[in-house]
A = this chain, B = another copy of it.
């Protein structure tokens, strides 16, 4: 049993904290939204009166926040948790933010002789609830070793991408490629349809050929080809267009900072930007299929 502090109890953080409790850990939580704290307490967590209060006795501190500026303020602000935590606390940030901020915040943690892991997740709210998230971790070996048993309570795939910040970078590389796969698969299916080929048949052919990819296997963008995916539910639920655009913006920032040519992701981003500008921000990202429809 470890004393864990969990800050940020949204759609992802809430069920993640609950899974830590279920695994037998002693979890103290905080969120600016009272109801979120109440739900966590109902699932067995202890409420902190503030972030600083929540972390003060924790051995492991997990943060799950909406954006980089929140992470920056929570860790490094005047009333930040960095100063409030125990001298040997391990910090794990599971927010999806830019790598620069992750490296900078992680650097401040390391400067106090403590350990830091950036560990963004994939798997969505369903994965958070089921405890089957994927964590992509950045940090030194000692930090990763200490983080692993804790994160294993919430996820089933854990990857060590590299040094501090590498978790964020690896996640964004993957999601950038996902946008390319979804856009490319959509245009191939639409061209098949425009030429009289059944999209289910075309999907089957590509699944067993060199066009095979995750979107065909798990997330076909053409309505009616697969059951229980957003495309067969009018593109509701899933991973929203505006979140894909947020990730593509992070990816393009990373590309700019590292001088990396990303022509394919740039083309995909142009499509997602147009798609959002036309009012589709809350639809699932597989709805890019409809932008390419004739």
Which B-chain residue is minimally distant from A186 (CB atoms)? Answer: B264
Complex Cα distance A253/B166, Å? 22
Instruction: Pick the interface stretch among A18-26, A36-44, A188-196.
Output: A188-196
Q: Knowing A192-B170, A266-B267 touch, does A162 contact B212 (C-beta < 8 A)?
A: no
Q: Which residues of B contact A258 (CB under 8 A)?
A: 191, 194-195, 294
Chain B nearest CB from A6 CB (Å) reads 24
Instruction: Pick the interface stretch among A47-55, A201-209, A224-232.
Output: A201-209
Asked if A255 and B191 make an inter-chain contact with CB atoms under 8 angstroms apart, the answer reads yes
Q: Which of B177, B196, B197, B273 contacts A184 (CB 8 A)?
A: B177
A25-39, CB under 8 A of B: which get 1 and which 0? Answer: 000000000000000
Taking A169-B192, A170-B192, A174-B210 as known contacts, 20 extra A-B pairs with beta carbons closer than 8 A to each other, sorted by chain A number, are: A136-B209, A159-B208, A161-B201, A162-B198, A173-B188, A174-B188, A175-B211, A180-B188, A180-B264, A181-B181, A183-B263, A183-B264, A213-B213, A249-B256, A252-B252, A260-B294, A263-B267, A263-B273, A266-B267, A266-B269
Chain B nearest CB from A112 CB (Å) reads 23
Q: Which residues of B contact A265 (CB under 8 A)?
A: 184, 187-188
Instruction: Judge whether A70 is part of the interface by a CB distance below 8 angstroms.
Output: no
Asked if A191 and B175 make an inter-chain contact with CB atoms under 8 angstroms apart, the answer reads no
Interface size class of A (residues with CB under 8 A): 35 or more
Q: Knowing A161-B202, A206-B174 touch, does A294 contact B259 (C-beta < 8 A)?
A: yes
Asked if B260 and A162 make an inter-chain contact with CB atoms under 8 angstroms apart, the answer reads no
Asked if B252 and A273 make an inter-chain contact with CB atoms under 8 angstroms apart, the answer reads no
A243-259, CB under 8 A of B: which get 1 and which 0? Answer: 00100010111111011
Complex Cα distance A183/B274, Å? 13
Asked if A209 and B134 make an inter-chain contact with CB atoms under 8 angstroms apart, the answer reads yes
Instruction: Judge whether A2 is part of the interface by a CB distance below 8 angstroms.
Output: no
Number of copies of this protein chain within its complex: 4
Asked if A173 and B192 make an inter-chain contact with CB atoms under 8 angstroms apart, the answer reads yes
Q: Which residues of B contact A271 (CB under 8 A)?
A: 263
Q: Which residues of B contact A219 (CB under 8 A)?
A: 210
Q: Can you spell out 20 A-B residue pairs with CB atoms less than 8 angstroms apart? A: A134-B209, A161-B201, A173-B189, A173-B192, A174-B205, A175-B210, A176-B191, A178-B210, A181-B210, A184-B265, A194-B258, A194-B260, A195-B258, A210-B215, A259-B273, A259-B294, A262-B273, A263-B274, A264-B267, A266-B269
Q: Which of B122, B202, B266, B291 contacts A266 (CB 8 A)?
A: B266
Asked if A260 and B166 make an inter-chain contact with CB atoms under 8 angstroms apart, the answer reads no
Instruction: Judge whether A119 is part of the interface by a CB distance below 8 angstroms.
Output: no
Q: Knowing A159-B201, A205-B170, A273-B255 touch, does A264 contact B184 (C-beta < 8 A)?
A: yes
